[in-house]
Structure 1
Amino acid sequence: MDFSRPELFDFQGISMTNYFSDNWENTQNFQARPNDIIIASYPKAGGTWLSYLLDLLYFGQSSPERQTSIPIFRRAINLESKITHICRGTEMLDKLPTSPRLIRTHLPVQLMPNSFWEQNCKVVYVARNAKDSVVSYFHFDRMTLIFPEPGEWSSYLQRFMKGKMVFGSWYDHVNGWWKKKQSYSKLHFMFYEEMIEDIGREMDKLCSFLGLSPSAEEKERIIDRVQFDQMKTNNMVNHSGLKIMNFNVSSFIRKGKVGDWKNHFTVAQNEEFDEDYGEKMKDSTLQFRTEV
């Protein structure tokens, strides 16, 4: 099947493409269940990594065959996606046999279906520093055919700063979800950089939030499986079965590093970005690390 690169357009106040807006009515009317686990993130912030970690925590022991037969994008399903007429996230989630359902989303908080809040669902949000986010998003857009053509790095960086990205502004996204955390107690906020630094520590915090208590042996097994070199070669996690991606351009799981932005930003770009960042984040209490 051929996929055409989409155009960005303004949708509900953010930049979007048809692959995530065409099923909008069903997305907004989606019926959450009280035990649904929502995995929210801006694109390329560690959402797949977190999805795999949660899948192992909930189903790693009870149904180990999942790990070798079902790709992660069919275990933790993106709510708002509609890639083809038969591939709608909402329908796939309704048919998901597992409980709890692991529900992925890149939606900004203001566009989330009301039923998640009404059902008091647990939400795990993972955030990544802006500089590594834009670099990772750039390489993702280069190889993912259902996202707009990224163009040159310099113009792409400008577009990121202006928020003209699929799913909108990084700044609005992370700050919107951070603000929601202050009023919604069932939201656990994680940082990509903290996960890189000590995945075991961050998994313990996550288990505490979810009320899970894996054994020491199980924790070690999970920590081993979610290492980047393991995930990169795991065909159930690395998205190698997705025809919407061109793996000749880049791998989906690329580096998994903090600080790769230094290999992309020029000195002038970094100075401009820092100035812009300071202005956009001046009223935020969110603190990010750009190196570990």
Structure 2
Amino acid sequence: MNTQNTNCQQYLPPAWSSAIFAQFDWKAGDVVISSAAKQGTTWMQNIVHQLRTGGDADFEDINEECPRPEFVEYPGQEDRERLERWENGVFKKYPFRAIKTHAVPPKLPFEPQVKYIIPVRNGKDSLVSFYYYRNNTTEEFRELWGGRPFPFPSFDVFFDCYLHQWRSYWNCINAWLPYRHSENVLFIHYADLKRDLEGNLNRIANFLDLEISSGQWLSIIEKCGFQWMRDNSHKFESRVIPLNIPILNKGGMIRKGKVGDYRDLFTPEQEIEWDTLHQEMLPDEAIRNWCDNGGKLP
């Protein structure tokens, strides 16, 4: 399918404002979770939040505890409104501020006193997850934005839009690769979290200079697990806070969390097309293998 003349933007949320980062007063210890969509970013939001609180079951919306600054919630909303809400609220609640973003350098400032966590997932799995996520937007949110983001008519249309127009998976990874060995940057792979959650929670806690008591660990591990997140899926589905409008349908954020899920949707031809572009966009074989499978980052 040729999407050259397809308006793929109609399938995405209508308003993002990376200009908001110019208004940030960055502080030592701030934590930024930066990745393309559906890399385990929401999982990482929850992990960071659970680590900094010692295990919190009472929060209502993870995107308010760990905000997405560039996400414009409703038509005409000023960036300053969101910043003032957080500065007068959540940014005062915890020992450090944490945000989630799909922005990358240079639109996202790289500050030496800020810590950056870069979640990465197998690209094929993230693509499938993104497809289901995008088609789970509530009618209320679409009505707010005049019908957008429109649902994809098929996975084939989504696949072609992603590979031929967006390519955000590779764009994000390539933007962060030059920083991967910086002391204030932590790349972490979704498959590694699945293989050894506790070990990687320790790794993240060390990166954040957090001391976790033995009494807190069991609570943290439980609340960072997929079962707890699935049982509390309403905490991860997002709302337009000022208008109390749900953004995602029930179950729209926490789905399977499965490694290798792409095999249920990719055709053999699509897999070849992905692999060809994957090699073109990430020519370093060792980096490519890490992006696919995790392990030790080259």
TM-score range, shorter-chain basis?
0.7 to 0.9
Q: 2:104: which partner in 1?
A: 108
Q: 2:40: which partner in 1?
A: 46
Identity of aligned residues (%): 22
Residues in 1 aligned to 2:99 and 2:230: alpha-carbon distance in whole angstroms: 22
Give the secondary structure class of the aligned counterpart of 1:48. helix
Residues in 2 aligned to 1:267 and 1:217: alpha-carbon distance in whole angstroms: 49
Shift of the alpha carbon at 1:288?
A: 2.3
Tell me whether 31-40 or 208-217 shows the greater mean CA deviation.
Answer: 208-217
Shift of the alpha carbon at 1:17?
A: 5.4
Give the secondary structure class of the aligned counterpart of 2:232. coil
Distance change in 2, residues 1:128/1:148 (3 Å): farther
Shift of the alpha carbon at 1:151?
A: 3.0
Which of residues 206, 209, 212 is equivalent to 1:208? 206
Shift of the alpha carbon at 1:133?
A: 0.9
Question: In the TM superposition, what whole-angstrom CA distance separates every residue of 1:212-232 from its partner, at most 9, and x where no partner exists?
Answer: 221233222211111112101
Distance change in 2, residues 1:151/1:16 (3 Å): closer
Residues in 2 aligned to 1:89 and 1:136: alpha-carbon distance in whole angstroms: 28
Residues in 2 aligned to 1:240 and 1:156: alpha-carbon distance in whole angstroms: 23
CA contact (8 A) 1:129 1:290 kept: yes
Which of residues 137, 143, 151 is equivalent to 2:130? 137
Normalized against structure 2, the TM-score is what? 0.80
The residue type equivalent to 2:160 in the other structure is Q
Q: 1:188: which partner in 2?
A: 186
Q: 2:216: which partner in 1?
A: 218
Normalized against structure 1, the TM-score is what? 0.81
Shift of the alpha carbon at 1:58?
A: 0.9
Q: 1:83: which partner in 2?
A: 73
Give the secondary structure class of the aligned counterpart of 1:206. helix
Give the secondary structure class of the aligned counterpart of 1:68. coil
Distance change in 2, residues 1:32/1:68 (3 Å): same
Shift of the alpha carbon at 1:197?
A: 1.1
Residues in 1 aligned to 2:214 and 2:131: alpha-carbon distance in whole angstroms: 38
Which of residues 152, 155, 158 is equivalent to 2:157? 155
Give the secondary structure class of the aligned counterpart of 1:78. coil
Tell me whether 25-34 or 82-91 shows the greater mean CA deviation.
Answer: 82-91
Shift of the alpha carbon at 1:131?
A: 0.1
Unaligned runs of 5+ in 2: 1-6, 143-147
Residues in 2 aligned to 1:90 and 1:109: alpha-carbon distance in whole angstroms: 20
Tell me whether 210-219 or 44-53 shows the greater mean CA deviation.
Answer: 210-219
Give the secondary structure class of the aligned counterpart of 1:82. coil
Distance change in 2, residues 1:16/1:265 (3 Å): closer
Residues in 2 aligned to 1:213 and 1:59: alpha-carbon distance in whole angstroms: 11
Shift of the alpha carbon at 1:76?
A: 0.3
Shift of the alpha carbon at 1:54?
A: 1.1
Shift of the alpha carbon at 1:42?
A: 1.2
Residues in 1 aligned to 2:231 and 2:238: alpha-carbon distance in whole angstroms: 9
The residue type equivalent to 2:188 in the other structure is M
CA RMSD in angstroms, aligned pairs only: 2.8
Give the secondary structure class of the aligned counterpart of 2:15. helix
Shift of the alpha carbon at 1:97?
A: 1.6
Count of residue pairs brought into register by the alignment: 268
CA contact (8 A) 1:37 1:100 kept: yes
Give the secondary structure class of the aligned counterpart of 1:224. helix
Q: 2:271: which partner in 1?
A: 270
